[in-house]
Amino acid sequence: MALLEAEEIRHCFGGLVALDRVSFEVNAGQIKAIIGPNGAGKTTLFNIVCGLIQPTSGQVRLDGKMLTGLKPFQVAALGVSRTFQNVSLFQHMTVIENVMIGRHIHAQHGFAGCALRLPGQRREERSMTDAAFAGLKELGLADKASSLAGSLSFGQRRLVELARALATEPRLLLLDEPASGLNTKETDDLAANIQHIRDRGVTLLLVEHDMSLVMDVADEILALHFGVPIADGPAAQVQNDPKVIAVYLGEKRDVASG
Amino acid sequence: MLQTLQYFLSGITIGSVYAVVAIGFNLIYSATGVLNFAQGEFVMLGGMVAITLSQFLPLPLAVAGAVVVVALGGCALEFLVFRRLRSHSVMHMVIVTMGLSIVIQEATLHVWDEKVRSLPYFSGNEISSVKLFGAALSPQVCWVLGTVAVVVVLLQLFYKRTLCGRAMRACSSNAEAAMLAGINIGGMRTLAFGLSAGLGALAGCVISPMSMTHYEMGPGLAIKGFAAAILGGLGNPMAAVFGGLAVGLLEAFSVSLLPAAFKDVTAFAVILVMLFLRPHGLFGEGSTGAVREV
Amino acid sequence: MKPGAWLQLSLFVAVLVGLQLCLGAIGKTYYLTQLTMAVYYAIVVMGLSLVMGYAGQVSLGHGAFFAMGGYVSAFLTTHDFAALKGVAWARLLEQCGVFVTRKSLYDTSDLLTVAPWAAFLAAMLVVVVVAVVIGYPALRLKGHYLAMATLGFGLIVYCLLLGTPLLGAADGITGVPPWRLGFGLTVSGKSAVRVQNYYLAWAVALGVLVLLGNLLNSRAGRALRAIHDSETAANAMGLNTARIKLQAFVASAVLAAVAGSLLTHYNEGIGPSESSALKSVRYVALVAAGGMANVRGALVVSTVLVFLSLRGWFGTYDNAVFGIILIAIVSLAPEGPFRPMGHWLRRVFRPASAGREAGHGAA
């Protein structure tokens, strides 16, 4: 049974067709990667899945429930969390507060309860803090808990963002270029983290440029080229697909000659 | 019928002033991204300076002098305040222009005083009138309408035909690209402020004989000018003319239906209704991304 | 609140008591009147800093909420509902204590008016409804548009108050009765209860301070701060950003109305100028002067500045002072005056590390 189903997604920015006839599935417990050259529409597809933009036509379903038409926060409440390509932390908040935002949907107390510090609210606050701290510990960030998010290194910020996304206890986690800006060591750690997250039962969908990371972790790959899927299937098969090779070799040749 | 025509004429007259304020808003907004809450103060200052100059200069020279002085003041504002801001967040911009509006009003209060003044009628006097289809029309109305029409046409020519006008349009559509093309962005912004201030001052002079000049008149004009700008769609100077006339007419006709004290309420209600239903303006594209949050 | 915060609060209360005793000792107890008023205005500013400093939204309509709180209280407690005498539901309300009969201030006739506590509740209700109706669409708009929408709203309220004879038009409403709270406490400007009211106002203000402090250090306040930093990311983490912003807006409107209602009883009246754009802009200036996202700063700075303004220290430059504050804060210290001041103090006392500290502050 597929956890995420995208059906005939089409998206136009003005006259420009960014995505066309994109259909794919992500099975529960799977790690799926979306690859493709720059401008292939990968991030747009991500934004459509998490509700940040609405597709011109087509629909996305999570476990049979329609996601298309929902606001991002509603999609998040259904169990879809994400990280951003350029890392979007809450800069003026501490690391642990950032992760606690991820716990927000698992708590209830609103303005009145918080202002009055009702006993239930205090308990809830403590459990949010504990859960957030545990999440940080798991990623090796326990000692940074009370630093300001804006003061961390780029690699650490990526990790905090991952901890924040995991704190929502997602069923599906979307990672937008999680390895960009990371050094080799950090990328290796990331691969281990991704495997570990999958072992906890979270399904992952990632957009990635780093092919070695993709081949390391992905079970399945969807290749996009100018907004159209050119290959979709098990990683080994897509890797040897002549069309994918053409697109990538073409790109590599450009790189070599440039 | 005659009554209706009278209302129509007064609506068009005051509406054309709102249109000039709205154009001023647009000029600055598209060149700098600042919504200048002190826009009405330019109109007020124009009237004030012209009144003072007219005491020892012939009227046309006094008006011209006022326009130049206020335009230079507008340039100075951009150069001395906006260019030096460290934070460009919308909240800070709003706060600065608000502050300027108050400071200019208070400065006016201390330089002049709280008295209501006016320029003499450009031709004829309070009681002379031109008959138009039976309705009495003050010659000053012709001056207002004529001036606004000329300003609109000249501005259009400036934008479309002159190198400088084209450069300014380039700045508003893509500042970075314009800079790469060798356009002096800072200069364009200063010019936009100057132009906007000068236009406001001119409007302030032509309406002074009829609607008087008072140090507190600015904010009211600014908010109605904004209503006009938003009705036409912000960033679209020519649609602002339509917006201004529409707000003026609405205001004029509302007097016949509502108590006079509620006259201003209509203009403000227009803002709220427009902002809530069609924030991109009556003619704007349907995309709300620029004005609405996700 | 943490133990350290309780200690700070106790120290602050000690300062307030000391201030009152000093003023009593030098025979200037009448200063307490303006101080009390300033504290009520500071409550509006604290509420506004919740919206501006933490949720990152500009509201130029808070004067209107203040005025609405005051006017509803004033109207209901002064209007003679004699016409309703004998109507069944009015009699029921009279038995519940909502309607009270009191002597007119001017002649010997009896007035049937609403009790201050009921008027207060009605004011809160009205303000909540209006804040939701205005805030729901307005908070979906970005920056400039939101500022204009709230300014337009404020001006509509101003025009309506000015043009409605039932609400006293330009004169406003006078003769608002004192509000007897029980336990011997009365909200009133009479000199006999001046000291009592000074402490009462501070109690309300410090109560608001504690509540806001609690709020900001918990789930709801974290959500607000997150929205200020990155609305997109907050939304993607499951925060209903539009709703949270609306809640903050309504909460701060209610605080403005609380202050408006109490100050109206204290001043025994209210005028339309309370909802003028100038008043709303003044609140914005005070939020900026207090350091935007700094509730304590807002309380202290606005109490001091409003007190000086009410005492007439700024003379004919009263409005100009607030205009200059707006410009100066934003162009010189957009993050508020306290942080740069702290850097400056550190530079004075520890010259070696000065350059680096300042660099971090600006970043």
Q: State the nearest Cα–Cα gap between A123 and chain C, in angstroms.
A: 11
> Would the CB atoms of C149 and B275 count as touching at under 8 Å?
yes
Predicted confidence (pLDDT) per residue in A93-135, tens digit: 999 999 999 999 888 888 888 888 888 888 989 999 999 999 9
**What number of CA atoms fall less than 13 Å from residue B29's CA on the CB side?**
24
Q: Which residues contact B251 (CB under 8 A, 6 or more apart)?
A: B11, B14, B15, B224, B263, B264, B266, B267
B115 has a chain C CB within 8 A of its CB? no
> Would the CB atoms of B291 and C141 count as touching at under 8 Å?
yes
> Would the CB atoms of C237 and A102 count as touching at under 8 Å?
yes
C308 has a chain B CB within 8 A of its CB? no
Report the alpha-carbon distance of residue C326 to residue B99 in Å, rounded: 5
Q: Which residues contact B252 (CB under 8 A, 6 or more apart)?
A: B7, B8, B10, B11, B14, B15
Q: What is the DSSP letter of C202?
A: H
A89 has a chain C CB within 8 A of its CB? yes
Do C40 and C202 meet the contact criterion of CB atoms below 8 Å apart? Answer: no
CA torsion sign, C287 to C293 to C299 to C301? negative
Predicted confidence (pLDDT) per residue in B11-66, tens digit: 888 898 899 899 988 888 888 878 888 999 999 999 999 999 999 899 999 999 99
Q: State the nearest Cα–Cα gap between A108 and chain C, in angstroms.
A: 9
**pLDDT computed for residue B143 by the predictor:** 86
Can you give the pLDDT of all 363 residues of chain C as single tens digits?
567 778 888 888 888 888 888 988 888 888 899 999 999 999 999 999 999 888 888 888 999 999 999 999 999 998 888 777 777 787 788 877 788 887 776 666 778 888 899 999 999 999 999 999 888 888 877 767 778 888 888 988 998 998 888 888 888 898 888 888 878 788 888 878 888 899 999 999 999 999 999 999 899 999 999 998 888 999 999 999 989 999 999 999 999 999 999 999 999 999 999 988 889 989 999 998 888 888 888 899 999 999 998 888 887 888 888 888 888 888 887 777 777 777 777 777 665 544 444 444 333
B265 has a chain C CB within 8 A of its CB? yes
C159 has a chain B CB within 8 A of its CB? yes
Opening angle at CA A121, ends C217 and C222, nearest 5: 30
**Tokens matching residue C246:** 């609306």
DSSP 3-state of B180? helix
**Tokens matching residue B97:** 């222009």
**pLDDT computed for residue C359 by the predictor:** 41
- Residue in chain B lying closest to C164 (CA): B261
Q: State the nearest Cα–Cα gap between C244 and chain B, in angstroms.
A: 13
B92 has a chain C CB within 8 A of its CB? yes
Asked if the model's pLDDT at residue A254 lies above 70, the reply is no
- Provide φ and ψ at A224, rounded to 5°: -110, 145
Do A166 and A197 meet the contact criterion of CB atoms below 8 Å apart? Answer: yes
> Would the CB atoms of B291 and C153 count as touching at under 8 Å?
no
**Tokens matching residue B159:** 């934008």
**pLDDT computed for residue A76 by the predictor:** 93
C229 has a chain B CB within 8 A of its CB? no
Please give the span between the terminal C-alpha atoms of chain A, in angstroms, as a whole number.
45
Q: State the nearest Cα–Cα gap between B222 and chain C, in angstroms.
A: 10
Best mutation site among A74, A85, A98, A114 for testing chain C: the one with the most C CBs within 10 Å? Answer: A114
Report the predicted TM-score, pTM, of the whole model to 2 decimal places: 0.88
**pLDDT computed for residue B61 by the predictor:** 93
**pLDDT computed for residue C2 by the predictor:** 66
Report the alpha-carbon distance of residue C73 to residue C269 in Å, rounded: 10
**pLDDT computed for residue B278 by the predictor:** 76
- Provide φ and ψ at C352, rounded to 5°: -60, -45
Show which subunits contact C, needing at least 3 CB pairs below 8 angstroms: A, B
The least confident of A169-178, B49-58, B141-150 is: B141-150
Q: Which of C138, C277, C330 sits opposite B92 (nearest CB)?
A: C330
Q: Could you tell me how many helices (H) and strands (E) chain B has, helices first?
A: 11, 2
Q: What is the mean pLDDT of residues B212-239?
A: 83
Q: State the nearest Cα–Cα gap between C335 and chain B, in angstroms.
A: 9
Residues of chain B with pLDDT > 90, as a percent, come to 20
A169 has a chain C CB within 8 A of its CB? no
Q: Which of A50, A104, A115 sits opposite C239 (nearest CB)?
A: A104
A114 has a chain C CB within 8 A of its CB? yes
C359 has a chain B CB within 8 A of its CB? no
DSSP 3-state of A149? helix
Q: Which of C52, C144, C235 sits opposite B35 (nearest CB)?
A: C144
Q: How confident is the model at residue A251 (pLDDT cuts 50, 70, 90)?
A: low
Q: Which of B85, B101, B275 sits opposite C331 (nearest CB)?
A: B85
Do C297 and C338 meet the contact criterion of CB atoms below 8 Å apart? Answer: yes
Q: What is the DSSP letter of C178?
A: P
> Would the CB atoms of A73 and C214 count as touching at under 8 Å?
no
**pLDDT computed for residue C91 by the predictor:** 79
> Would the CB atoms of B86 and C235 count as touching at under 8 Å?
no
Q: State the nearest Cα–Cα gap between B146 and chain C, in angstroms.
A: 30
Please give the span between the terminal C-alpha atoms of chain C, in angstroms, as a whole number.
30
Do C261 and C253 meet the contact criterion of CB atoms below 8 Å apart? Answer: no
Q: Which of C145, C156, C231 sits opposite B275 (nearest CB)?
A: C145
Residue pointed to by tokens 């995208």: A6
DSSP, residue by residue, B218-229: HHHHHHHHHHHH
Residues of chain A with pLDDT > 70, as a percent, come to 96
Buried b / exposed e across C315-348, counting CB within 10 Å, b at 16+? eeebbbbbbbbbbbbbbebbbbbbebeebeeeee
Task: Classify burial at C166, counting beta carbons within 10 Å of its beta carbon; exposed 0-12, middle 13-18, buried 19 or more.
Answer: exposed
Report the alpha-carbon distance of residue A32 to residue A51 in Å, rounded: 19
DSSP 3-state of A31? strand
Report the alpha-carbon distance of residue C318 to residue C315 in Å, rounded: 6
> Would the CB atoms of A111 and C248 count as touching at under 8 Å?
yes
> Would the CB atoms of C155 and B262 count as touching at under 8 Å?
no
Q: Which residues contact B187 (CB under 8 A, 6 or more apart)?
A: none
Q: What is the mean pLDDT of residues A3-7?
A: 91
Q: State the nearest Cα–Cα gap between C351 and chain B, in angstroms.
A: 25
C334 has a chain B CB within 8 A of its CB? yes
Q: Name the residue type at position C69.
A: G
Q: What share of chain C is helix, strand, coil (3-state, %, to 5)?
A: 75, 5, 20
Asked if the model's pLDDT at residue A167 lies above 80, the reply is yes
- Residue in chain C lying closest to A47 (CA): C236
**pLDDT computed for residue B285 by the predictor:** 57
Q: Name the residue type at position C142.
A: K
Q: State the nearest Cα–Cα gap between A87 and chain C, in angstroms.
A: 9
Q: What is the mean pLDDT of chain B?
A: 84
For residue B23, CA distances in Å to B29, B104, B274, C200, C302 come to: 10, 21, 18, 51, 37
Of A95, A153, A100, the closest CA to residue A126 belongs to A100
Buried b / exposed e across B158-183, counting CB within 10 Å, b at 16+? ebeeeeebebbbbbbeebeebeeeeb
Q: What is the mean pLDDT of residues A154-182?
A: 91
Residues of chain B with pLDDT > 70, as a percent, come to 94
C242 has a chain B CB within 8 A of its CB? yes
**Tokens matching residue A82:** 């994400």
Q: What is the mean pLDDT of residues A205-219?
A: 88
Do A198 and A29 meet the contact criterion of CB atoms below 8 Å apart? Answer: yes
> Higher model confidence: residue C46 or residue B135?
C46
DSSP 3-state of B106? helix
Q: Which residues contact A257 (CB under 8 A, 6 or more apart)?
A: none
Do B48 and B117 meet the contact criterion of CB atoms below 8 Å apart? Answer: yes
A90 has a chain C CB within 8 A of its CB? yes
> Would the CB atoms of C234 and A81 count as touching at under 8 Å?
no
Do C253 and C245 meet the contact criterion of CB atoms below 8 Å apart? Answer: no
Q: What is the DSSP letter of C332?
A: H
Contacts of C137 in chain B (CB under 8 A): 275-276
> Higher model confidence: residue B172 or residue C41?
C41
Opening angle at CA B262, ends B256 and B268, nearest 5: 110
Report the largest interatomic distance among the alpha carbons of chain C, rounded to a whole angstrom.
Answer: 80
> Would the CB atoms of A93 and C240 count as touching at under 8 Å?
no
Contacts of A82 in chain C (CB under 8 A): 236
Show which subunits contact B, needing at least 3 CB pairs below 8 angstroms: C
Report the alpha-carbon distance of residue C290 to residue C313 in Å, rounded: 19
Do B86 and B193 meet the contact criterion of CB atoms below 8 Å apart? Answer: no
Of C124, C359, C157, the closest CA to residue C260 belongs to C124
DSSP 3-state of B66? helix
Q: What is the mean pLDDT of residues A73-98?
A: 92
Report the alpha-carbon distance of residue C310 to residue C282 in Å, rounded: 13
> Higher model confidence: residue C37 or residue B227?
C37
Contacts of B25 in chain C (CB under 8 A): none
Report the alpha-carbon distance of residue A83 to residue B93 in Å, rounded: 31
Q: Which residues contact C235 (CB under 8 A, 6 or more apart)?
A: A52, A71, A72, A73, A76, B294, C241
CB atoms within 10 A of CB C192: 9
A 119-148: CB under 8 A from C = 121, 124-125, 128
Contacts of C241 in chain A (CB under 8 A): 73
Q: State the nearest Cα–Cα gap between A122 and chain C, in angstroms.
A: 9
Asked if the model's pLDDT at residue A256 lies above 50, the reply is no
B90 has a chain C CB within 8 A of its CB? yes
Please give the span between the terminal C-alpha atoms of chain B, in angstroms, as a whole number.
49
